[in-house]
Amino acid sequence: MDRWRQLHRSRYGNISYYSNSNRQRAQLHLYVDINIDECAVGEHNCHTDATCSDIVGADGSFQCSCNTGYSGDGVNCINIDECATDMDNCAEQATCNDNEGSFTCTCNNGYTGNGIRCDDIDECATDMDNCAEHATCTDIEGSYSCNCDIGYTGDGTECIDVNECELQVDSCDENANCTNIDGGHNCSCLPGYSGNGTYCYDIDECTTDMDNCAQKATCTNTDGSFSCMCSDGYTGYGVVCYDIDECENNSDSCDVNADCNNTNGSFSCSCKRGYSGNGATCTDMDECLGEVSNDCSAAADCLNTAGSYSCHCKPGYGTNCSDVDECSGRSHDCSKNAECLNIEGGYNCQCSTGYTGNGKVCEALPDVRGPEEQKTGENGSNLGLISGVTVAGFLVVATLLIIGFLCALKIRKHSKSMKVPLSINVAFGKPNHNLPALSESTKQTRLTLLQRQIQKKTCTKVSV
């Protein structure tokens, strides 16, 4: 160095001034002690990721210090991973990203902020979600969730309708119809039931007059419906009922001897004439047992038949059960020497005067009288004849009186419906001389027959 002293490093970095008193010329010279900054002039060996720090002093030096985010002696520096060593200050909801010598904090998805502070983003409120139309968006910390609405199925971002009716996951009552709709289903009670579809109860159409049964039908309530059944005596399908003619189709229970009378919805049985009973059972009436039950003449025999009777005139009576006069009709077998005497229902034969026998055979009596007695006898015969005529006239008159009396009694009997005992005594005089006399039994027989003929009407043989 020519005129200037060589610069030397000042440890303290101060500038010093020196004078050279040894110079020949006494001049004041300025000497400057200048510190060299190795860091500034690049005369250091610090790591590129280190900081060079100049040291001012007598010895003049520098110091290397690894930068923040690095570790080492300054000459050798390696990156510090703050994220791995929890040396970062990132928010909990942020992600730490290590850089050379540093790190960055980035808020996670669903959060917003500078990384050191991160706030949740409500994607549902800001329409930042991708939920399906039929899904519900639910904000969660740092994110959101999509859930398909009721009636739909899927992952939330795609939702399709669920057919609850087909899958039998509906809430309908067992007596309801399930109808699938978009996102749900409808329940409607079946006909015959009432309710909201989820609960259905049976309607009693019979008691609520909701049936259409015929008037002559019985309504029976069933589960969810009703049935109509025609009442006994009617036929049809319940809504329309027709009367059954039991008599015509032989479905009645009448006795074979009864008349069937069809009625509305039923029938009645009445025993035929000549039978008695309730119609279901009929027994023959024996009209011959009582006089009131038949109108046979007293001179007829009553013969009971099934359901009726017949009258048969007794022997000795004609077609009308009137007495046959065998004497006038020459249908008797009396002797020619006998007198035929007609009686009720028959005749008697009596031998004429001067004859003896049973009437059918008569023999002449021997004549043992003298001439005077014979004359007397002839006169006596005349007197006897006159006496007989007189007796006959008396009988006619008595008969007329009896007829009138009996008619009066019969009228009285009809009005009072009771029988009047009849007792008639007729006294017959004894015949004179040789006129044949009527026996007491003959008189009584004739009187009895006369009474019966008067009491009973003229009988004609009729089969009823």
In DSSP notation, 303-362 reads EEETTEEEEEEPTTB-TTSPBP-TTTTT-----TTEEEEEETTEEEEEEPTTEEESSSSE
Assess if residue 180 is contained within a domain.
Answer: no
**What's the pLDDT tens digit per position in 64-85?**
999 988 999 999 999 999 899 8
For residue 120, pLDDT beyond 60: yes
Assess if residue 136 is contained within a domain.
Answer: no
Winning range, highest mean pLDDT, from 12-21, 52-61, 417-426 = 52-61
For residue 14, pLDDT beyond 60: no
Check if the beta carbon of residue 353 is closer than 8 Å to that of residue 380.
Answer: no
pLDDT tier at 180, thresholds 50, 70, 90: very high
pLDDT tier at 176, thresholds 50, 70, 90: very high
Residue 300 corresponds to which tokens in the numbers above? 């007829």
Assess if residue 271 is contained within a domain.
Answer: yes
Quickly tell me which residue has 């049936």 as its tokens: 211
Assess if residue 258 is contained within a domain.
Answer: yes
Least confident of 61-65, 215-219, 389-393: 389-393
Least confident of 99-103, 169-173, 294-298, 428-432: 428-432
For residue 259, pLDDT beyond 90: yes
**What's the pLDDT tens digit per position in 384-397?**
433 443 445 556 55
Give the pLDDT mean for 430-435.
39
- pLDDT greater at residue 435 or residue 118: 118
Q: How many domains does the chain have?
A: 1
> What is the model's pLDDT at position 444?
58
Percent of the chain with pLDDT over 70: 70
Output b/e per residue, 406-422; b: 16+ Cβ within 10 A. Answer: beebeeeeeeeeeeeee
* Three-state SS at 212: coil
Query: What are the C-alpha distances in Å from 250 to residues 218, 243, 255, 273?
Result: 25, 14, 11, 21
**Chain-centroid distance, C-alpha 401:** 82
Give the pLDDT mean for 97-121.
92
For residue 398, pLDDT beyond 90: no
Query: What are the C-alpha distances in Å from 333 to residues 212, 291, 326, 339, 394?
Result: 90, 36, 9, 11, 29
Assess if residue 394 is contained within a domain.
Answer: no
Whole-number Å distance between alpha carbons of 230 and 237: 7
CB count within 10 Å of CB 45 equals 11
Give the pLDDT mean for 300-327.
81
Q: Residue 270's beta-bridge partner residues? A: 259
pLDDT tier at 266, thresholds 50, 70, 90: very high
pLDDT tier at 407, thresholds 50, 70, 90: low
> What is the model's pLDDT at position 450?
53
Q: E strands within 149-274? A: 152-154, 159-161, 176-181, 184-189, 193-195, 200-202, 217-222, 225-230, 234-236, 241-243, 258-263, 266-271
Q: Residue 218's beta-bridge partner residues? A: 229
> What is the model's pLDDT at position 404?
60
Question: 288, exposed or middle or buried, with CB in 10 Å at 0-12, 13-18, 19+?
Answer: middle
Size of the chain, expressed as the number of residues it contains: 464
pLDDT tier at 373, thresholds 50, 70, 90: very low
Give the end-to-end CA distance of the chain in Å, rounded to a whole number: 194
> What is the model's pLDDT at position 294?
79
Q: Which amino acid is at 299?
A: A
Of 111, 113, 112, nearest in space to 143 by CA: 111
CB count within 10 Å of CB 137 equals 19
Assess if residue 272 is contained within a domain.
Answer: yes
CATH number of the domain that residue 270 is part of = 2.10.25
Least confident of 237-246, 272-281, 401-410: 401-410
Assess if residue 277 is contained within a domain.
Answer: yes
pLDDT tier at 195, thresholds 50, 70, 90: very high
Domain that holds residue 253: 244-284
Check if the beta carbon of residue 266 is closer than 8 Å to that of residue 233.
Answer: yes
> What is the model's pLDDT at position 15?
44
Reported pTM:
0.39
Whole-number Å distance between alpha carbons of 93 and 141: 9
Assess if residue 132 is contained within a domain.
Answer: no
* Three-state SS at 218: strand
- pLDDT greater at residue 20 or residue 204: 204
CB count within 10 Å of CB 152 equals 20
pLDDT tier at 26, thresholds 50, 70, 90: very low
Give the pLDDT mean for 230-259.
94
